[in-house]
């Protein structure tokens, strides 16, 4: 066979296939049957066997990049004829997936699209394995291993982004029209989720977003929420989802409580002109919210007191703590154009109500009056005066809220709708939220490491450092660096849970 320089890999594969066909025909027409086998395998060996690595090096990633189904099928067929052909193809296939996936996961500038790209990539590779590689189990398993390997190369972020992707799908107003479509997407997400080692990061972000969907009333469908929950339970066990289930239970109990509260209110001598809805959240099920004291108008405070009397009358000994960040309200507003209803956050409410009392206020005055924390207040003012629905005017104009800015009521506000939603900011994740969610996971991991060390040492009494570390790796369900384990062990020694052996410092003893 002469050199076939300048020929592309697809061309070469077709050429080999053609040559084999010709030889086959020739054998059938002229040659004795017994000649067939050695001849064909000589040709296979010469055309393929000696060039396998070169062919794969030169061509496999292009074939996969371009999704060349015909040539990939041919490649598999030809390689399966040559001794050692499939194992070498397998190796290149695994490497390709690791390197392509590693690019997707390892490029922070592309985080926005990471999950969608992973889903598309998984689809494409599945398709190749099914259609071109004859559903060969070894190839399918290698693909799974490769996914698991590259997705965990970058700790934590993929888990966070998967949670956010699910949130975007389960939120009201997403593009997936039908329940079936949504179901299909959630199933696919679970396949990617399965590869993730640190599922606690997923849980933390999932929980934070679920809380918002439930409390701000932005869930696309209760059925889809429940379906996702059961998928998670199936995948990770009941312990993983028990708090999430508690959140749903709280929501349902709250509905019943509100029915009773309405009846109770009808019996009150002084009916309120505000309709109050309260969700009673069990601490521990829900994300931890930083307590925030804001100044509510007197009517609201009164109503809170009424509710407190009602609730504690039924459940004495419980403690109620109001959580304003996720509160929301519908305000009746009157503009020159006419009456409107504004769907707003509680913080937006507090700001807007000030304009019943006065014409114009500075940021500082609003801050003093409402008690809303500075960063939160600036975001709130921005949403009311610089967003799409500007019910306040900012003076001077501009898209950021600066010290000394003055605000007044925008009487000329116009909108084609009667009820206008301005509380989308409640659904947005702030930088602080992202950081505190992540930090809480890391904090929790430290407790879990400590608990695992103590548990192991209590049982084993004496262990070498290496054995302890390897037991820890068996027990811990999230990625940890050896250095982190060492720090936790040091800290437990400092706190007298264990001690170093006097003679050999790599040996630890449990301290009862
Ligand atoms: C599947 O691929 C592996 C690759 O190493 C190969 O050894 C095996 O024979 C293939 N199985 C089938 C059924 O072709
Ligand atoms: C309302 O008041 C009536 C009469 O005082 C009482 O019988 C009833 O139980 C009260 N209902 C509620 C829900 O408190």
Write the pLDDT tens digit of every residue in 314-352: 998 999 999 999 999 999 999 999 999 999 999 999 999
Instruction: Report the greatest alpha carbon distance in the chain.
Output: 109
Average pLDDT rounded to a whole number, residues 241-245? 95
The answer to whether the pTM exceeds 0.75 is yes
Q: Nearest Cα to 346, choosing from 375, 368, 323, 362?
A: 323
Atom of ligand 1 nearest to the CA of 137: 1
Is 3 part of any domain? no
What does the H/E/C string look like for 402-424?
A: CCCCEEEECCCCCCCCCEEECHH
Is 236 part of any domain? yes
pLDDT of residue 137: 97
Q: Are residues 286 and 239 in the same domain?
A: no
Instruction: Select from 128, 138, 140 the residue to mutate for testing ligand 1; criterion: most ligand atoms less than 8 Å from CB.
Output: 138
pLDDT of residue 2: 43
Q: Is 267 in the pocket of ligand 2 (CB under 6 A)?
A: yes
Is 284 part of any domain? yes
Residue at which a domain ends, from 260, 294, 324 = 324
Protein residue closest via CA to atom 4 of ligand 2: 267
Higher pLDDT, residue 6 or 48 = 48
285 CB neighbour count, 10 Å cutoff: 17
pLDDT of residue 194: 95
Residue 58 in contact with residue 5, Cβ under 8 Å?
no
Residue at which a domain ends, from 429, 445, 463 = 429
Average pLDDT rounded to a whole number, residues 244-250? 96
pLDDT of residue 220: 87
* Strands 360-362 and 419-421, sheet pairing: unpaired
How far away, in angstroms, is 261 Cα from ligand 2 center? Answer: 12
498-500: strand order across its sheet: 462-464, 507-510, 498-500
In the Cβ-directed half-sphere of 313, how many Cα atoms lie within 13 Å?
10
* Rounded distance between C-alpha atoms, residue 74 and residue 59, angstroms: 13
- CATH, residue 360: 3.30.230.130
Percent of the chain beyond pLDDT 70? 96
pLDDT in tens, 14-28: 888 888 888 777 766
Q: Are residues 79 and 168 in the same domain?
A: yes
Q: Nearest Cα to 407, choosing from 353, 444, 360?
A: 360
81 upstream amide cis, omega within 30 of 0 = no
Ligand lying nearest the CA atom of residue 261: 2
Quote the number of domains for the chain.
Answer: 4
Is 341 part of any domain? yes
Q: Can you give the residue range of the structural domain that contains 478?
A: 432-510
DSSP H/E element including 140: helix 137-151
Average pLDDT rounded to a whole number, residues 385-391? 94
Q: Are residues 207 and 97 in the same domain?
A: yes
Protein residue closest via CA to atom 6 of ligand 1: 86
Q: Is 87 in the pocket of ligand 1 (CB under 6 A)?
A: yes
- CATH, residue 494: 1.10.10.10
CA–CA distance from 375 to each of 128, 367, 382, 432 (Å)? Answer: 50, 10, 11, 10
Instruction: Select from 267, 307, 314 the residue to mutate for testing ligand 2; criterion: most ligand atoms less than 8 Å from CB.
Output: 267
| 3-class SS of residue 330 | strand
Q: Are residues 42 and 62 in the same domain?
A: yes
Sequence-ordered list of residues with C-beta below 8 angstroms from that of 378, at least 6 positions apart, any chain: 363, 400, 401
pLDDT in tens, 102-148: 999 999 999 999 999 999 999 999 999 999 999 999 999 999 999 99
pLDDT of residue 3: 46
Q: Are residues 386 and 497 in the same domain?
A: no
Phi-psi region of 135 (alpha: psi -120 to 50; beta: other; left: phi over 0): left
pLDDT of residue 5: 60
pLDDT of residue 39: 66
Sequence-ordered list of residues with C-beta below 8 angstroms from that of 78, at least 6 positions apart, any chain: 13, 16, 17, 20, 44, 48, 85
Ligand lying nearest the CA atom of residue 267: 2
Is 294 part of any domain? yes
Is 4 part of any domain? no
Residue at which a domain ends, from 324, 343, 375 = 324
Q: Are residues 500 and 425 in the same domain?
A: no
| 3-class SS of residue 337 | coil
Is 1 part of any domain? no
Atom of ligand 1 nearest to the CA of 86: 4
* Rounded distance between C-alpha atoms, residue 237 and residue 223, angstroms: 20
Q: What is the DSSP string of 99-114?
A: HHHHHHHT-GGGGGGH
Is 2 part of any domain? no
* Rounded distance between C-alpha atoms, residue 268 and residue 264, angstroms: 7
Q: Are residues 72 and 132 in the same domain?
A: yes
Q: Are residues 457 and 318 in the same domain?
A: no
pLDDT exceeds cutoff 70 at 34:
no
Average pLDDT rounded to a whole number, residues 396-420? 95
- CATH, residue 232: 1.20.1310.10
Structure token pair of residue 97: 């997936």
* Rounded distance between C-alpha atoms, residue 392 and residue 235, angstroms: 48
Protein residue closest via CA to atom 13 of ligand 1: 136
Q: Are residues 357 and 385 in the same domain?
A: yes
Q: Are residues 306 and 170 in the same domain?
A: no
Handedness of CA 133, 134, 138, 139 (dihedral sign): positive
**pLDDT band at 36; cut points 50, 70, 90:** low
Atom of ligand 1 nearest to the CA of 139: 2
Q: Nearest Cα to 273, choosing from 254, 290, 297, 295?
A: 297
Q: Are residues 456 and 446 in the same domain?
A: yes
Q: Are residues 450 and 339 in the same domain?
A: no
The pair phi, psi for residue 331, each rounded to 5°, is -105, 140
Protein residue closest via CA to atom 11 of ligand 2: 264
How far away, in angstroms, is 267 Cα from ligand 2 center? Answer: 6
What average pLDDT does the structure give for the chain? Answer: 92
| 3-class SS of residue 360 | strand
How far away, in angstroms, is 262 Cα from ligand 2 center? Answer: 12
pLDDT exceeds cutoff 80 at 487:
yes
pLDDT of residue 7: 75
* Rounded distance between C-alpha atoms, residue 196 and residue 482, angstroms: 19
pLDDT exceeds cutoff 50 at 1:
no
How far away, in angstroms, is 258 Cα from ligand 2 center? Answer: 16
């Amino acid at each position: 066979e002469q050199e076939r320089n300048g020929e592309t890999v697809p061309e070469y594969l077709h050429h080999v296939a053609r040559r084999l066909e010709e030889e086959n025909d020739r054998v059938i027409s002229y040659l004795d049957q017994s000649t067939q086998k050695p001849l064909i395998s000589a040709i296979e060996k010469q055309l393929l066997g000696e060039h396998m690595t070169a062919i794969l090096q030169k061509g496999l990633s292009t074939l996969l990049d371009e999704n060349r189904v015909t040539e990939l099928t041919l490649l598999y067929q030809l390689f399966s004829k040559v001794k050692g052909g499939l194992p070498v193809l397998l190796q290149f296939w695994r490497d390709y997936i690791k390197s392509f996936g590693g690019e997707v996961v390892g490029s922070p500038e592309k985080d926005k699209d990471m999950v969608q790209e992973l889903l598309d990539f998984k689809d494409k590779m599945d398709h190749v394995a099914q259609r071109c590689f004859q559903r060969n189990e070894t190839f399918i398993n290698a693909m799974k291993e490769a996914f698991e390997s590259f997705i965990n190369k970058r700790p934590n972020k993929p888990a966070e982004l998967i949670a956010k992707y699910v949130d975007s799908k389960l939120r009201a107003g997403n593009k997936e029209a039908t329940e079936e479509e949504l179901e299909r997407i959630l199933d696919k997400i679970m396949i990617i989720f399965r590869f993730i080692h640190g599922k606690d990061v997923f849980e933390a972000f999932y929980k934070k977003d679920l809380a918002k969907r439930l409390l701000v009333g932005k869930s696309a469908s209760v059925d889809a929420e429940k379906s996702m929950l059961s998928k998670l339970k199936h995948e990770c066990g009941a312990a993983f989802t028990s708090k999430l289930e508690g959140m749903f239970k709280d929501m349902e109990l709250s509905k019943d409580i509100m029915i009773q509260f309405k009846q109770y209110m009808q019996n009150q001598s002084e009916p309120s002109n505000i309709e109050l809805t309260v969700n009673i959240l069990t601490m521990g099920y829900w994300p931890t919210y930083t307590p925030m004291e804001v100044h509510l108008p007197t009517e609201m405070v009164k109503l809170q007191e009424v509710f407190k009397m009602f609730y504690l009358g039924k459940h004495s000994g419980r403690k109620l703590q109001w959580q304003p960040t996720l509160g929301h309200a519908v305000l009746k507003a009157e503009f020159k154009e006419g009456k409107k209803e504004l769907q707003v956050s509680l913080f937006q409410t507090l700001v807007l109500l000030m304009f019943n009392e006065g014409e114009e206020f500075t940021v500082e005055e609003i801050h003093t009056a409402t008690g809303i924390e500075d960063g939160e207040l600036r975001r709130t003012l921005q949403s009311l005066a610089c967003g799409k629905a500007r019910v306040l005017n900012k003076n001077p104009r501009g898209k950021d809220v600066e010290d000394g800015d003055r605000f007044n009521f925008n009487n000329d506000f116009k909108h084609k709708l009667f009820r206008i939603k301005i509380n989308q900011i409640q659904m947005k994740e702030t930088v602080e939220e992202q950081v505190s969610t992540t930090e809480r996971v890391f904090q929790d991991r430290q407790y879990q490491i400590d608990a695992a060390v103590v548990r192991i040492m209590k049982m084993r009494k004496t262990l070498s450092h290496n054995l302890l570390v390897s037991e820890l790796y068996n027990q811990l369900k999230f990625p940890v660096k050896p250095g982190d384990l060492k720090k936790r062990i040091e800290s437990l020694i400092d706190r007298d849970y264990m001690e170093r052996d006097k003679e050999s410092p790599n040996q630890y003893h449990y301290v009862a």
